[in-house]
Structure 1
Amino acid sequence: MTTAYPLAWPEGWKRTKNPAKSQFKTTLNGAIGNVQDSIRRFSSDSGHKVENVLVSSNVTLMDAKPSDAGVAVYFTWDGISTCIAVDRYQKVEENLQAIHHVLEAERTKLRHGGLNLVRQAFRGYAALPPPGKASQRPWHDVLGVYADASLAACKAAYQAKAKELHPDRGGSEAAMAELNAAMEEAKRARG
């Protein structure tokens, strides 16, 4: 697990204005260990590797209790680049512990709802590349299809997403450009 400073909050995610006190009783090292354990168990339960784990916060060697206690955990699972970010609590260790509980909830979804339910949830958490990474999201993540989807499925997904992401319909130019690039990549991949 890699750490990154300063906090790279996911683009477009709202920040908590007034973080609350939590009921969690944990240390920073304890919360980090809990997140690591949850990631390992989630990977084992799902049968898919969790890779490129990056924990982003404002913690430094000289400041273990920064004024901005938000934490963002970026990772790739089953080819989906995702992020779980929490800033609702006043301490970094509390926000990390909350991320541990979110990951445990995903394990519960996996047990009771299956792999497809979790894939859809993780696509909803879709993340731009974590800080320091220049690569783009995989084309199939942008389109919201499986990596082995047919060209016809890619085109259908593109058309549906274009209706919501086009700037004339309330979307943004950046989102539409990303979608267009993903469709071009899908065409190259599917020949």
Structure 2
Amino acid sequence: MTIPAYPLSWPVGWKRTPAADRSRARFNRQTVTQYRMGDGSTNSYRGKAQVTIAEATGRVRAELVRMGIADDDLVISTNLALRLDGLPRSGQREPDDPGVAVYWTDRFDLSVPPKCMAVDRYDRVADNLAAVAATLEAMRAIERHGGAEVLNRAFEGFAALPGPAAGQRIHWSEVLGCARDARMSEIRDAHLRARSAAHPDRGGTAAEFQAVNQAFSEACREHEVES
């Protein structure tokens, strides 16, 4: 797939969650803390902590492996810089846009279009990744209970959407990958990310680069500021 893992490549036509409407999730990971007793023996107790980028990424990969999807057929797209293996790197500042989009293909059936699942309802990238993993797990449970056909139909709804038909106009927010009611500072950040991804020197095209700049100009006019 040619979909970039960084910056975030939000699927065309998918609605965005306004920043003010994002919430804190409760996806946790188990922790074990050991401590030494007064007599020199050791003991431990279990607790919970926020899920990390590495943990959430691992959950997504594990669910897709159970569906027969290999890492080579998977793209996890976020606004986090990448590790050498192309996956999101931990230990970074939370980006202004914490959305995630997971794309995958079935290498054994090329007639099936790529699938995509995107989540941005939470204020942390790790939680949005964990939400994707939890959703995939829940959908696989449908198959385990005899609903294979229901599962197939559900996943048809997650097919990665193609670009617009000729002459069809896209709202500037979809081009830039931000919410329609985003603040101007968020729009400027989204423009920089989209402009970088569309630059011909980075695999984009002149037409895509021009479309990004045109979308930013439209956003500025709508917000009555200079571009």
Per the alignment, residue 123 of structure 1 pairs with 156
Greater per-residue helix proportion: 1
Aligned residues: 129
Query: 1:174 deviation in Å?
Result: 4.9
2:74 to 50, 53, 65: 53
Name the amino acid aligned to 2:22. Answer: P
SS at match of 1:4: coil
Structure 1 range deviating more: 91-100 or 21-30: 21-30
Partners of 1:175 and 1:13 in 2: CA distance: 20
Per the alignment, residue 52 of structure 2 pairs with 27
Partners of 1:117 and 1:100 in 2: CA distance: 19
Q: 1:107-145 CA deviation, whole Å, 9 max, x = no partner? A: 11111243322221111111136xxxxxx9xxxxxxxxx
Q: 1:76-111 CA deviation, whole Å, 9 max, x = no partner? A: 245241100000000000000000001101111111
1:90 to 114, 123, 135: 123
Identity, in percent, stands at: 42
5+ residue gaps in structure 1?
A: 44-48, 130-135, 137-171, 177-191
Q: Is the 8 A contact 1:86 1:96 kept in 2?
A: yes
SS at match of 2:73: strand
Query: 1:175 deviation in Å?
Result: 10
Partners of 1:175 and 1:106 in 2: CA distance: 36
Partners of 1:10 and 1:74 in 2: CA distance: 9
Larger radius of gyration: 2
Summarize the Cα distance change of 1:104–1:175 in structure 2 as closer, same or farther, 3 Å threshold: farther
Per the alignment, residue 13 of structure 1 pairs with 14
Per the alignment, residue 42 of structure 1 pairs with 67
Structure 1 range deviating more: 95-104 or 74-83: 74-83
TM-score scaled by length of structure 2? 0.51
1:75 to 97, 100, 104: 104
5+ residue gaps in structure 2?
A: 29-50, 82-88, 169-227
Per the alignment, residue 177 of structure 2 pairs with none
Q: Is the 8 A contact 2:13 2:161 kept in 1?
A: no
Query: 1:9 deviation in Å?
Result: 0.6
Partners of 1:122 and 1:80 in 2: CA distance: 11
Name the amino acid aligned to 1:30. Answer: E
Give me the CA root mean square deviation.
2.7
Summarize the Cα distance change of 1:175–1:67 in structure 2 as closer, same or farther, 3 Å threshold: same
